[in-house]
């Protein structure tokens, strides 16, 4: 997974199974983890690695840039990552960039949020709503 440093912005490669280890930025040495922002998934292989190897539950936001409700949910997902980054990994999948991943999970409307536990879909939720409601409905 590519994790951007919140201090200097540099992209750092961190294996999904180590997303809860103590990793530091290769450039500025600032702490990269725990994640306090959503991770953008760049490829189907990265997605598969994240879901398969993550040591914590993964909340995936399936979205697209042209989608108005998706733009409303984006700050709510940021809030969830900040508030619950020690318990759940928040990831974003652009359905336009990764249609194969979206098709695999039958994404027909966006935004759709899927919570994965131990590599298996545990809960699914569609539509724009506040962070607190997303957390309540997905039980995170």
Residues forming the active site: 67, 70
Q: Encoding tokens for residue 53?
A: 């190897």
> CA-to-CA distance for 14 and 54, rounded, in angstroms?
11
> Could you tell me if residue 25 is left (phi over 0), alpha (psi between -120 and 50 degrees) or otherwise beta?
beta
> Could you tell me if residue 135 is left (phi over 0), alpha (psi between -120 and 50 degrees) or otherwise beta?
alpha
């Amino acid at each position: 997974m590519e994790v951007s440093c919140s201090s200097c912005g540099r992209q750092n490669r961190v294996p999904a199974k180590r997303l809860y280890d103590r990793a530091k930025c290769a450039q500025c040495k600032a702490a990269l983890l725990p994640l306090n922002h959503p991770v953008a998934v760049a490829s189907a292989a990265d997605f598969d690695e994240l879901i398969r190897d993550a040591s914590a539950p993964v909340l995936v936001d399936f979205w697209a840039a042209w989608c108005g409700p998706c733009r409303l949910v984006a700050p709510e997902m940021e809030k969830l990552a900040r508030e619950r980054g020690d318990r759940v990994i928040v990831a974003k999948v652009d359905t336009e960039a990764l249609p194969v991943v979206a098709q695999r999970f039958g994404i027909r409307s966006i935004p759709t949020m899927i919570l994965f536990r131990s590599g298996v879909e545990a809960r699914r939720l569609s539509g724009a709503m506040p962070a607190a409601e997303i957390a309540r409905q997905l039980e995170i």
